[in-house]
Amino acid sequence: MGRYVVRRLLQFIPTVLGTLFLLHYLTSMAIQFGGNPVRSLFGDRTPPEEQLRQMTEQFGLGDPCLQQKGNPCFGLFWERMQDIFLRFDFGQSLAPRRDVTDVLADALPYTIKLTIIAFIVEAVLGLAAGVLAGLRNGKFSDYVVRIVTVLMISVPIFVSAVLVQKFVGVKFGNWLRQDLDAPEWLGRGLFGAAYKAEFPWLSLILPGIVLGMLTLASTARLTRGSLLENLRADYVRTAKAKGLTTNRVIGVHTLRNSLIPVVTTLGLSIGGYMAGAVVTEGVFRVPGVGFTILKAIATGEPMVLIGLTTVLVLVYLVLNLFVDLLYAVLDPRIRYE
pLDDT digits (tens, 9 = 90+) for 108-136: 899 999 999 999 999 899 999 998 998 88
pLDDT attached to residue 335: 61
- Rounded to whole angstroms, what are the CA distances from 279 to 104, 119, 133? 18, 17, 31
pLDDT attached to residue 332: 61
Range among 41-55, 101-115, 170-184, 238-252 with highest mean pLDDT value:
101-115
pLDDT digits (tens, 9 = 90+) for 171-200: 888 888 887 778 888 888 888 888 988 888
pLDDT digits (tens, 9 = 90+) for 79-101: 888 888 888 888 888 877 888 88
pLDDT attached to residue 236: 79
d(CA 318, CA 9) in angstroms, rounded, equals 9
User: Which residues, other chains included, contact 89 with Cβ-Cβ below 8 Å and sequence gap of 6+?
Assistant: 83
Query: Is 60 exceeded by the pLDDT of residue 336?
Result: no
pLDDT attached to residue 144: 93
pLDDT attached to residue 284: 92
d(CA 217, CA 208) in angstroms, rounded, equals 15
Range among 243-247, 261-265, 312-316 with highest mean pLDDT value:
312-316
Query: Is 80 exceeded by the pLDDT of residue 35?
Result: yes
Query: Is 90 exceeded by the pLDDT of residue 311?
Result: no
Of 95-109, 189-203, 254-268, give the lowest mean pLDDT range: 254-268
The domains located in the chain, with CATH, are: 2-85 (no CATH), 104-300 (1.10.3720.10)
User: Which residues, other chains included, contact 195 with Cβ-Cβ below 8 Å and sequence gap of 6+?
Assistant: 110, 203, 204, 207, 284, 285, 286, 287
pLDDT attached to residue 329: 66
pLDDT attached to residue 117: 93
